[in-house]
Structure 1
Amino acid sequence: MIGKIDRDILLAHARTIASSGGKAVPEGATELSDLEVCGAAEITAMTRAAAERDGGVLVSSGGTTGTPKLTYLPHHMAFDRLLPVWRPLGVGDVVLNLYDAGRMWGTHYFVQKLAERTESTVIPSGPMTAEELELRLPMLREVGVTALASVPSVLADFAEMVLKTGVKPPVKTIIWMGEAWTESKRELVRQAFPDVQLWGIYGSVETWAMGSNRPGCDETTLHLLADEIFELEDAGALLTRAGEGWTVPVVRYRLGDRIEATRCRCGRGDAFRVLGRADDGFGLLGNYVNIADIVDSARQCPDVVDAQLVLVRDNDLADSARSMTVEYTGTAAPEAVRTWLTGSNVRLGTVDSQHPEAISARRVDRLRRIARTNKTPGAVWQDALGSGS
């Protein structure tokens, strides 16, 4: 477990939120583990009740291939909780907000509110094509952009264009959330802006900000905010938080990520690392494999920069694929990448020995993105005809 909340406060808190849509507290409950795990339905009910009193912003997660999970964010977005420990902007800063607006994704509006609360200037750009960015870089340098905010995939695109053109705004701060860094993306940003400071947030649409990373931290380490608890489980960590000023007060909400406790060089407590999704395994012709493990292995292959999986669904079995193609950037030969993966993963080696046609590799100029968020997913699922998500 990471974090600490007084037991009496926690139980009183659970009873309070039960009256506004949370799970009922079992009779005789004395410990956190006695309380029920809550889900998306409780999040929607509790935040909707609050929005009916005070207003809010309705956002969603998912919804591309299934029913969206709805959350009503209060307009304050919990910045009174966040700013005492995480304040990347100040008076005089100019932040370029490269997050997508609209489509019920809240991160663009998070950056807008951050600029308001820190009395800095914001440019609500959203993502740009390479051609648009090349045209606008001189203007961005002229207005003195000091900070960039986006997912690491978009930040790496920005850095690549700066290196290509030599037109460099005076960026000193990077704000990131919504996607984990890869070593190649971080290195590209460091090449373009050697002295830049990285400020990160770990959160979800349903729960908003839960942890933070700031200069002085290990770059893969985050710190839980005060008055929160993570219960660490393989099925996904459970979040509990108490007190005022949150976007949503939750008890034992199941996150989709596996998390582990760690230490950080900065010395702050309640440090953790995100290990990956709890549900990113899939069946490949009778062998159960993990998306993150395969992608990480591909990135370690010589002359591979980044990678993702393209999976063709097996319509007869849930969460299963008939074939897997590793798409990658870099100069490695496709057969070398394929050999690397089947030799380093026992289960892929088994598939290769029985169904060699089911595994392939393909070099590409750019990995696929999620249109709604510009994130680079670890895997893209397709049907046999090539359409997919």
Structure 2
Amino acid sequence: MDRSFVKENKVQRHDVWQENFNIDSDSATKQELDDSEIFTDDYFPFANRLELLLYVLRGSKYHCIDQELFKFILHIIRVVVEDNIKSIPPFHKIWNLDIEGLELKPSVSSNKDTDKDIFYIKPSSIIEMQLSKKNTAIQLQRFPRQSNFFEGQSSGSKWKTEIKSLMAKHSSSERIYIGDNVQNGTNGECGTVVQFFSQEFENTHQVYASVKSLTRNISVIANDLLKLDQTNVYEGDDVERVQNLIEMSKQLDMDIYTVPINIFVDDTSGNRSKKWNPLSVWTLQLAGLPTSEKMKKSSHHFIGVTKPEDGSFVTPVVNDLNDMFYEGKVMYDAAYNKNVIVTSQIAVGLMDNSMASEFCHHMGAAAKENCRFCRYRNNHLLIGELRTKNKTEEILKEIENSTETSTMTGIKKKILAE
């Protein structure tokens, strides 16, 4: 490399380095360095040994590193410089450090069929980590939205009908739960809270309650509701779950919020060559984020990757989400600067047709009834009988010892080597 050319363009080169150093950081300021700080004979064309090592790390074939991890390493270096830290703790001290109340517990699930451990990050841990980030927490939709046009997943029909928001707050900070008897502070009409939702009012999104009275259903701004001193009368299919969570909220004196998630699952190859080395990759994103935020790489969170013969994440992921759904989990919410109770469930499973068939116990295009939604036969023109959970379970019992039944119906017993 021509050293004179690089020195003539040292300021431009330094600006490029600073831009990469401060990626996604609006608050960081660029600092000009003099010639002696930019170039030295020992590490030319790098500014110093640190820049050389960081460059090597970025391109290393032996270290798994992405932008988020690289940014965190740069943040650590900033802290060392700003705090003028002279002594670096040894590896064994940090690696074996165990502080009561701050234990670092790995999320490990053992596959008993193959007697192998599969490592994954629990969805609940990812949700907890994201809620602690203020920029993420303040953007999350906590309620379904009523709107005349699409405003993201929260305005979709599934969120409105299947994902319940269990609580909203009165202007006096009093909690109002689904199933509570309330009075409309405006006209005095009484009823029972059926649902909470948000809707635009005077250029801001207000939380409303759908209240069922004796004669009609009305929508009232939550701030205008007066809670009556009566027993909660929620009567949904999940009455035991809802009542337990409401009781937990009262005992701990904490708010309850629902944070649904999207899970992406796909198979890929672990080889660059044409030889297929199958791996199942799982990632997660928070469903309540605006669409523009979901498109960012930082909004997609890695759960894990596994080989088919080693097992699947289906059981541990479902168990973790069931624990959150039925029992809730206390987490710090940066949007409100306090601990809250969080419940979660899957809003959407994102996958291609082949992987979707796997999750539906379906053989895919190889079967005579090759549709995973209905019992359509490939030589018929009409839509077949819709598949149901109960009917699929009946067929699974029939195909215990019959591959012919499996081929005819399209149902297979094992999915994702669970």
TM-score by length of 1: 0.26
Give the number of the structure whose residues are more often helix, by fraction. Answer: 2
Rg larger in 1 or in 2?
2
